[in-house]
Structure 1
Amino acid sequence: MRREMSALPSLHRRIRTSFLRVVFLFWCTGMLMLAAVWFTGRLPLQMVRLNYDSIVWASEMERACDALLAPRLYPERTPAGWRAFFEDNLERAEQNVTERDEGTALAYVRSAWEEFQKAERPDAMAVKAGLRELERINEKGLFQRLDAGLRWRDAVLLAGGLGLLVVAVASVFVADAVSARIAHPLRRAAELLRARPVPGRSLSLPEPQTLDVRVLFDELTRQWDWLGELDALNVQRLLEEKHKLELVLESVEDAILALDARGRVLLVSRRMLGIVGMSREEIEGRPWHELTFSGNLRKRPEGADNRVDLDKLLSSPARGECEIGLTEEGEHRAFRARSRDLIIDGGPAGRLLLLTDVTEKAMRDTLRAEMMDWIGHELKTPVQSLGLASDLLNRQREDVDDSLGILIDTVRQDTERLRAVVRQFMDIAGMTPAMLRLFPERVELGVKLDEWLAPFRLTAREKGQELVLTRDNPVFVNIDVERFAWLLSNLVSNALRETPPGRRVEVGLRTARDAGKSHAEMSVEDEGPGIAPEQEQRLFQPYSHGLTKGTRQGLAGLGLAISRHLAEAHGGALRYERGAHGGARFVVELPLADEEANGKQEEEDDAAQRVDCG
């Protein structure tokens, strides 16, 4: 111990001296580089500034000559003022001589200027020739100094780099010599800790060779013993907290699944266990991708189809909400899936999936759609009869008085309105989620948009509006032409209704790229009043759009909700954002038509088609 105590100062002194030398060498090298860079950059720039001033003064003198020859074109000064302006710039140039031939050029300019003032019919050719020669001399000097400055800068940087390299090599040797005396016991201690010893057991650390390492090992041993005691207490506390969390998960109605950053299952609720058909011991702590069954379709265990659907949802880069159909206890049920990233300390720490049972809501939507369809058909027959009766009355209008004729016109107009309402009612009922069935085909969307917008252009022209279509190269997508035409019609009609006369509605089509994948993007943007902020959160919810004073009217009802469902049924999405001119901008995203998919075999697993997002 005494020998180690006596060795400590020498070790400390050696480390301190060695590193002070390294720091001093780096400081000297850095200061030399700074001084050289400052000098090589400052001096040429100062000289360049002088050359530039001479060029500017020559240009000003040339302008003064032009002003004396054509005073009407330069009314800002009198001829006497321009002569004084020329003299001032000439005197500045004569006091700013930096080049060898510049004095000769200035003397020539002075002589030509005096002749110019004495002449009865002055000619500025000689003066301008001298000024151009003066500009040429200074430009040549300017570029020569810039080139010289660059050469000096390169030389200084090269010398500084070599100096830093030498200092770095010396530092490596010094650090190696110092670390060699303390590396061996520390390396052995690191190997011992890398073997992950069990907390609570004593550490078998190697014998230290220096007092510094001994102090370090003593502190490490003390901290290890304290960690063992703390671990014994934390294990019990963690078990209690885990038990509480499990009780919470057991009590919630939602199915919950949490994965860590490496895709391993962290937490799973009781209902989620029933959906995936596995026990808690079988699923917790295992990577999720190992739980997805991909064997024979006829031999799949219970919950395997659900795991395939959930795997598609979890492997998708999309975040947010979507509808998904799963089987629970032998019954097909509808869930709203919400996927969120777990963020800890500003970085991704995993993923959380929540499934909310919306089967009853889906049933209510189905009943509502069937009721709408039934009401539409029941209203259709009496409305047609009423319309026929009004047409017959109108044919006998000559036999009735004027007051009765007015009543007949009122009945006909109201009948036509009622017919339009019934027709729109049946169209909307046919496009609700419960009644929707798509027949997609591959089309060039730009051509279809041009065709669908033709009647709307007439409407816009009558209202004094402008309806334009902007598109990129041909964009091919797989869509149900009839349904997608209704979606576009709904968005464009809303935009035209809310756009004042003299304003513009723009329909755009382009190919966008997100998360490394390309997709088609169609947008409808108007220059109307836009959507109130309090309505934006409820914009796509059925029957929830109230009318707010000073904002868009006519959006209440099912139109936007059905439009979003149509976009999602095509594998895309519909979103709202505020337009560049304060109006509304609706964007429809669609997957591009995959030409290579035409030759592939269809999916054997029908469950894979139940995932509506991802």
Structure 2
Amino acid sequence: MKIKTKLSWGLGFLFAVILLLAGLGAYYANRLAKEAGEVLKDNYESLEYGKNMLQATDQFLPEDSLAYAAAIKIFKKNLQNQLNNLTEPGEQAITIAIKENFDLFRQTAGPKQDLAATNKIMAAIRQDIFRLTDLNMRAIVRKNQVAQQTADQVIMYLVIIGTFSILVTLTFILNFPGYIANPIRELTASIKQIANRNYEQRLHFKAQDEFGELADAFNQMARKLDEYEHSNLARIIFEKRRIETIINNMSDAIIGLDEKQIILFANNEATLLLGLTEADLINKYAPDVALQNDLLRHLLAVNESVPLQIFNEGKESYFTKDVIQIKSPGTANEEEKLIGRVIILKNITQFRELDLAKTNFIATISHELKTPIASIKMSLKLLRDHRIGAVNQEQQKLMEHIAEDSNRLLRITGELLNLAQVETGNIQLHYRETQPTEIINYATQAILFQAEQKHLKLETNLPNELPPVNCDLEKTAWVLVNFLSNAIRYSPEQARIVISAGSVTSSNNRFVRFSVRDFGRGIDARYKDRIFDKFFQVPDAESIKGGTGLGLAISKEFITAQGGSIWVESELGEGSSFSFSLPVV
């Protein structure tokens, strides 16, 4: 039987119970009302007629002809009504006796009446009226008792039927919802078990209805999932072992954590660097392990990309740290969710050693090149001396080219030496309290001649009072000169260059910001992130010569070494603004 049919039968049963109770109540209420109506119609009207006739007999006074005639009329009317309302046994004989005595009374009444005979007839009439009244009173009492018995029977029947209906309905109410809800509850619990990968869960509904069909479909689904789970388990285990083997054989140290910072895996290289076993790491809370391990604490706390120096296997090694955030793919109703992260330590010791060798080589070559360059410049100076001899126009041009090339070589050599100092960490900084205007004046005087050659206008935008900064005057001015040289190189003739400074506050610290603004071609957004990299030059369609790609990289090292920051703001076709900031004394 279908659930819909069972619901229809159940609701139909409740409807039938309601109809039964309503029908019985209406039937017995109508029966009681009918019996009460019969009492009113039969006996109560007879009592009313008897009372009216008694009252009329009191007016039978022949001396007053008008009152006598009215009383006779009333008595006659009520007597006639009583003759039409004979309902009780014996009531007819009494009523006829009253009528006969009344007729006799009318015959004897008059001026020549026999008073004794009249009174005797009147007494008989009144006595018969009392007998009629008493008969109807006893009939009312009897009928009332019958009605009361009927009411008691009705109450008893209704109580019996109502109690039976309540018991049956209560049983239906208690059991039928469970018939619907229990299978749904079992189905919900089974679905949760399936969600927890318990594919051995089964439903057992014996009913031959939709729930039975649902149980069969659910059990079939669970069997298929169980088969799929077991068929893929070996493959999943194989893939897991293969991935673990790959991770363990990688030369980089790899540590995996979930979203709660529980360590999920750590390869052999990571355990060697941390000096811990796999059992000390796997399934452990990373911050707890970090309390006893300085390297892990540093890996969890520090997010900077500065190379790490780790003493490992009897020598110093260098590593870079990469942190990969693992997120679950989002859905239409749900955003991406962080489910873990992987920390990778790449061994860059070999590259560090090569970089150090390169730095030493550059420092050595730059130092050795200074001597022949100085000799070239000395020889060039002697050639230009008219005491040595006159030179023609072509020889003069050759000497100018030699001077330009030697100056360029000398500048490149100086930048390489500065770069070598930066990379070896041997920057010699001479701090002193310096006014920002002193730095700006130092730099503008150094490039004033270059600006005049291109007919450029230098504008300064300085507030009246600026706080002093603690810096190395020469190296800070060198940075500003580098900014100005680049601005001159990339500005068209008769343009202007704006030099500005101002006080700024960041994170409760005060800084002085220095800026050089040009109105040249600007820098493409693709290259702004690399503008401070070593040897990087912005690709230039017009091939402007003169740069080595080291000036901005050295400038960045000089500024950051003094606790400042450096940046660029530029839009293609709108010019560029190079800025740096230094902390206030």
Indicate how the Cα distance of structure 1 residues 422 and 546 shifts in structure 2: closer, same or farther if over 3 A, else same. Answer: same
Q: Is the 8 A contact 1:441 1:481 kept in 2?
A: yes
Q: 2:358 aligns with which of 361, 368, 371?
A: 368
Q: Which has the higher contact order (CA 8 A, sep 6+)?
A: 1
C-alpha displacement of 1:242:
1.7
C-alpha displacement of 1:6:
1.5
Q: What is the match of residue 7 of structure 2?
A: 7
**Residues of 1 paired with 2:470 and 2:9: CA distance?**
80
Q: Secondary structure at the match of 1:283?
A: coil
Q: Is the 8 A contact 1:257 1:354 kept in 2?
A: yes
Indicate how the Cα distance of structure 1 residues 517 and 415 shifts in structure 2: closer, same or farther if over 3 A, else same. Answer: closer
Map of 1:138-157 to 2, 5 A cutoff? none
Q: Secondary structure at the match of 1:434?
A: helix
Q: What is the match of residue 240 of structure 1?
A: 238
Indicate how the Cα distance of structure 1 residues 394 and 588 shifts in structure 2: closer, same or farther if over 3 A, else same. Answer: closer
Q: Secondary structure at the match of 1:342?
A: strand
Q: Is the 8 A contact 1:444 1:474 kept in 2?
A: no
**Residues of 2 paired with 1:478 and 1:184: CA distance?**
80
Indicate how the Cα distance of structure 1 residues 579 and 239 shifts in structure 2: closer, same or farther if over 3 A, else same. Answer: same
Larger displacement relative to structure 2 (354-363 or 550-559): 550-559
Confirm whether residue 357 of structure 1 aligns to residue 355 of structure 2: no
Provide, for residues 418-462 of structure 1, a one-character-per-residue CA deviation record: whole Å limited to 9, x for no partner: 367436523532333433345596979966764565436846862
Q: What is the match of residue 416 of structure 2?
A: 428
Q: How many residues align?
A: 409
Q: Is the 8 A contact 1:487 1:563 kept in 2?
A: yes
Q: What is the match of residue 493 of structure 1?
A: 485
Larger displacement relative to structure 2 (365-374 or 433-442): 433-442
Q: Is the 8 A contact 1:257 1:353 kept in 2?
A: yes
Q: What is the match of residue 571 of structure 2?
A: 579
**Residues of 1 paired with 2:464 and 2:349: CA distance?**
42
Q: What is the match of residue 153 of structure 1?
A: none
**Residues of 1 paired with 2:273 and 2:510: CA distance?**
34
CA RMSD of aligned residues (A): 5.5
C-alpha displacement of 1:499:
1.5
Map of 1:237-316 to 2, 5 A cutoff? 237-293=235-291, 304-313=293-302, 316=303
**Residues of 2 paired with 1:554 and 1:540: CA distance?**
17
Query: Is there any run of 5+ residues in structure 2 with no aligned partner, and where?
Result: 12-176, 331-335
C-alpha displacement of 1:498:
0.7
C-alpha displacement of 1:576:
5.7
Query: Is there any run of 5+ residues in structure 1 with no aligned partner, and where?
Result: 12-178, 296-303, 596-614
Q: What is the match of residue 126 of structure 1?
A: none
**Residues of 1 paired with 2:204 and 2:467: CA distance?**
70
**Residues of 2 paired with 1:361 and 1:288: CA distance?**
30
Confirm whether residue 333 of structure 1 aligns to residue 317 of structure 2: yes
Indicate how the Cα distance of structure 1 residues 563 and 457 shifts in structure 2: closer, same or farther if over 3 A, else same. Answer: closer
Confirm whether residue 345 of structure 1 aligns to residue 337 of structure 2: no
Q: What is the match of residue 111 of structure 1?
A: none
Q: Is the 8 A contact 2:436 2:469 kept in 1?
A: no
Indicate how the Cα distance of structure 1 residues 379 and 204 shifts in structure 2: closer, same or farther if over 3 A, else same. Answer: closer
Q: Is the 8 A contact 1:323 1:337 kept in 2?
A: yes
Q: What is the match of residue 39 of structure 1?
A: none
Identity in percent: 21
C-alpha displacement of 1:583:
3.7
Map of 1:365-404 to 2, 5 A cutoff? 365-384=355-374, 397-398=386-387, 400-403=388-391
Q: Secondary structure at the match of 1:326?
A: strand
Larger displacement relative to structure 2 (465-474 or 378-387): 465-474
Q: Secondary structure at the match of 2:359?
A: helix
Provide, for residues 555-600 of structure 1, a one-character-per-residue CA deviation record: whole Å limited to 9, x for no partner: 444233334445665677766664264444556688x78x9xxxxx
**Residues of 1 paired with 2:509 and 2:217: CA distance?**
54
Indicate how the Cα distance of structure 1 residues 256 and 528 shifts in structure 2: closer, same or farther if over 3 A, else same. Answer: farther
Q: Is the 8 A contact 1:450 1:469 kept in 2?
A: no
Q: Is the 8 A contact 1:577 1:586 kept in 2?
A: yes
Q: Is the 8 A contact 2:202 2:222 kept in 1?
A: no
Indicate how the Cα distance of structure 1 residues 571 and 404 shifts in structure 2: closer, same or farther if over 3 A, else same. Answer: same
**Residues of 1 paired with 2:395 and 2:327: CA distance?**
69
Q: Secondary structure at the match of 2:345?
A: strand
**Residues of 2 paired with 1:470 and 1:8: CA distance?**
92
**Residues of 2 paired with 1:443 and 1:205: CA distance?**
84
Q: Which has the larger radius of gyration?
A: 2
**Residues of 1 paired with 2:342 and 2:547: CA distance?**
34
**Residues of 2 paired with 1:244 and 1:445: CA distance?**
64
Q: Secondary structure at the match of 1:366?
A: helix
Q: What is the match of residue 324 of structure 1?
A: 308
Q: Is the 8 A contact 1:525 1:579 kept in 2?
A: no
C-alpha displacement of 1:549:
2.7
Indicate how the Cα distance of structure 1 residues 377 and 199 shifts in structure 2: closer, same or farther if over 3 A, else same. Answer: closer
Q: 2:406 aligns with which of 406, 418, 422?
A: 418
Letter in 2 for 1:579: E
TM-score of the aligned structures, taking structure 1 as reference length = 0.50
TM-score of the aligned structures, taking structure 2 as reference length = 0.52
Q: Is the 8 A contact 1:531 1:552 kept in 2?
A: no
Q: Secondary structure at the match of 1:337?
A: strand
C-alpha displacement of 1:288:
3.3
C-alpha displacement of 1:270:
3.6
C-alpha displacement of 1:361:
2.6
C-alpha displacement of 1:310:
2.0
Indicate how the Cα distance of structure 1 residues 10 and 410 shifts in structure 2: closer, same or farther if over 3 A, else same. Answer: farther
C-alpha displacement of 1:531:
4.4
Q: Secondary structure at the match of 1:549?
A: coil
**Residues of 2 paired with 1:340 and 1:557: CA distance?**
32
Letter in 2 for 1:243: R
Q: Is the 8 A contact 1:529 1:583 kept in 2?
A: yes
Provide, for residues 335-383 of structure 1, a one-character-per-residue CA deviation record: whole Å limited to 9, x for no partner: 3434443344252534344433332332233223222322333344455
Letter in 2 for 1:435: T
**Residues of 2 paired with 1:373 and 1:280: CA distance?**
45
**Residues of 2 paired with 1:475 and 1:227: CA distance?**
74
**Residues of 1 paired with 2:194 and 2:466: CA distance?**
61
Q: Secondary structure at the match of 2:364?
A: helix
